[in-house]
């Protein structure tokens, strides 16, 4: 590892959660505007996390605190790996580990809502992970290698070689941003019991760390989506922005689906489309 | 700097938990009206949460009676410190028209300490928002003194 890679990794470690927090702020402002409201300030997610950090509350279980920290480490590690140009597939696995830790932490809680949320989190993992993986395989096949820098150095936009993975990636973005219709384990905007399921027993500092892990996850997912048009940094930002905006619009115009629809219909359809694209790339 | 950011955040991010302690629903409707686009309390970073472990401000509407006093105390105890309590409406403040009823204990302050009282039957959304802002001013004073 040379010094440049080290600097990039450190930048990824520090900037990725900040970008995720900013995305959450933009999300809340845009959503409020779509609902004819003014909405909170752009920095509101940072205030929320700062507030949660300073709260004094006993954790629901000691294991929970440990799982939250592991989730945070795994999420930040996936950001660092992407920034340092590591294997994108490995980064994807590390990110999946983070989501599993969140579910495991929720299983440690006492509340039935928390356990229900944890189960739903696992259903979500089952639904979006395969299609996300096939999407990354498509990108790797077209770019000729698995490392992030090769994805970014690919000749021309990857999008034209893999239009069929776009619905799958949008599905992943919706699930990871906890957006309707796939806000099944926990909703980003709603704050009542079952719809906030997996977060029920997390509180205070643990909840703040979990939020930071979530920001890091969002950055990873949008970053991977931006590889579809990685001809310049600007096009990457625009691509990620388009995915985010599409997710916000869908969130505001759709109602929540059940986990059965997600797992039984949406996941197979997006997976079949992405796999067809992968086969096409191999046959080409 | 980080410490002052944390203190500022506590004032800028009040998450409310609304507990209907036996209200006639008049005050509940006015409380929920604060979330609508007309009043849009999210402007102030306020979110209505359904989980006491996530809440900073407990908004209580209605009278306290012998059955729900335990639940009110339980919710209050589950909230992380520092926390604020706002009693909404004549019922929340003193028991209102129901204070002489045999099952009614009185206002919210019979069970838990109340920081801000909002009079009215029902209390207006503007008054409720003003109460939250007043409560945050009080919290800010406490944080600065500590
Ligand atoms: S104060 Fe009036 S409106 Fe509010 S709960 Fe009591 S009776 Fe109903």
Domains of chain B by start residue, with CATH? 2-145 (3.40.50.12280)
Residue A181's pLDDT is 86
Decide if pLDDT at B101 tops 70: yes
Judging contacts by C-beta atoms under 8 Å, the chain A residues touching residue B44 are: 40
List, for residues B27-58, the tens digit of each pLDDT value.
999 999 988 888 888 898 898 888 898 999 99
ipTM attached to this prediction:
0.92
φ, ψ for residue A11, nearest 5 deg: -60, -40
Closest CA of chain A from B134, distance in Å: 18
Q: What is the CA radius of gyration of chain A?
A: 18
Q: Distance, in angstroms, between B18 CA and closest chain A CA?
A: 11
Partner-chain contact A191 B15, CB within 8 Å: yes
Smallest Cβ distance to A54: which of B6, B42, B48? Answer: B6
Question: What integer pLDDT is reported at residue A23 of this predicted model?
Answer: 94
Question: Which residue carries 């928002």 as its tokens?
Answer: B129
Query: Distance from A211 to chain B by nearest Cα, in Å?
Result: 13
Contact B40, A81 (CB under 8 A): no
The CA distance from A243 to B4, in Å, is 36
Whole-angstrom distance, CA of residue B120 vs CA of residue B142: 27
Ligand 1 pocket test: pick from B20, B33, B90 the residue with the most ligand atoms within 8 Å of its Cβ: B90
Q: Do A48 and B9 touch (CB under 8 A)?
A: yes
Ligand 1 centroid from CA B23, angstroms: 6
User: What pLDDT is attached to residue A1?
Assistant: 61
Q: Which of B12, B54, B81 sits opposite A207 (nearest CB)?
A: B54
Residues in chain A where the model's pLDDT stays below 50: none
Q: Average pLDDT, stretch B80-100?
A: 91
What is the CA(A49)–ligand 1 centre distance, in A?
35
* Residues A224, A230: Cα–Cα separation, whole Å: 10
Query: What is the pTM for the complete model shown?
Result: 0.92
Residue A137: what pLDDT?
Answer: 94
């Amino acid at each position: 590892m040379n010094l440049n890679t080290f600097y990039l990794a450190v930048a990824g470690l520090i900037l990725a959660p900040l970008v995720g927090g900013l995305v959450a702020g933009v999300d809340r402002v845009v959503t409020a505007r779509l609902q004819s409201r003014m909405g909170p300030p752009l920095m509101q997610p940072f205030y929320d996390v700062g507030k949660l950090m300073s709260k004094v509350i006993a954790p629901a279980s000691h294991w929970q605190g440990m799982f939250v920290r592991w989730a945070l480490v795994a999420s930040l590690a996936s950001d660092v790996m992407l920034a340092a140009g590591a294997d994108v597939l490995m980064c994807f696995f590390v990110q999946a580990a983070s989501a599993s830790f969140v579910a495991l932490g929720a299983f440690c809680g006492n509340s039935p809502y928390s356990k229900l949320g944890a189960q739903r989190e696992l259903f979500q993992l089952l639904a979006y992970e395969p299609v996300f993986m096939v999407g990354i395989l498509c990108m790797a096949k077209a770019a000729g290698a698995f490392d992030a820098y090769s994805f970014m150095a690919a000749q021309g936009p990857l999008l034209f070689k893999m239009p069929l993975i776009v619905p799958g990636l949008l599905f992943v973005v919706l699930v990871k941003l906890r957006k309707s219709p796939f806000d099944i384990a926990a909703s980003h905007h709603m704050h009542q019991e079952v719809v906030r399921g997996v977060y029920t027993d997390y509180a205070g500092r643990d909840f703040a760390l979990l939020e930071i892990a979530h920001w890091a996850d969002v950055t990873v997912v949008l970053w991977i989506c931006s590889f579809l048009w990685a001809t310049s940094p600007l096009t990457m930002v625009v691509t990620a922005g388009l995915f985010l905006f599409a997710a916000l619009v869908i969130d505001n115009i759709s109602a929540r689906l059940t986990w059965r629809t997600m797992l039984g219909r949406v996941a197979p359809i997006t997976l079949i489309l992405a796999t067809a694209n992968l086969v096409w790339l191999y046959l080409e | 700097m980080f410490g002052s950011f944390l203190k500022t955040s506590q004032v800028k991010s009040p998450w409310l938990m609304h507990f209907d302690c036996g209200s006639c629903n008049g005050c509940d409707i006015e409380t929920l009206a604060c979330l609508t686009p007309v009043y849009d309390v999210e402007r102030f970073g306020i979110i209505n949460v359904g989980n006491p472990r996530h809440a900073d401000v407990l908004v209580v509407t209605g009278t306290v009676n012998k059955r729900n006093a335990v639940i009110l105390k339980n919710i209050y105890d589950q909230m992380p410190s520092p926390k604020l309590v706002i009693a909404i409406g004549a019922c929340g403040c003193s028991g209102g028209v129901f204070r002489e009823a045999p099952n009614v204990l009185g206002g919210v302050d019979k069970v838990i300490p109340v920081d801000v009282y909002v009079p009215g039957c029902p209390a207006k959304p503007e008054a409720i928002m003003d109460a939250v802002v007043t409560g945050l001013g009080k919290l800010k004073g406490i944080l600065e003194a500590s």
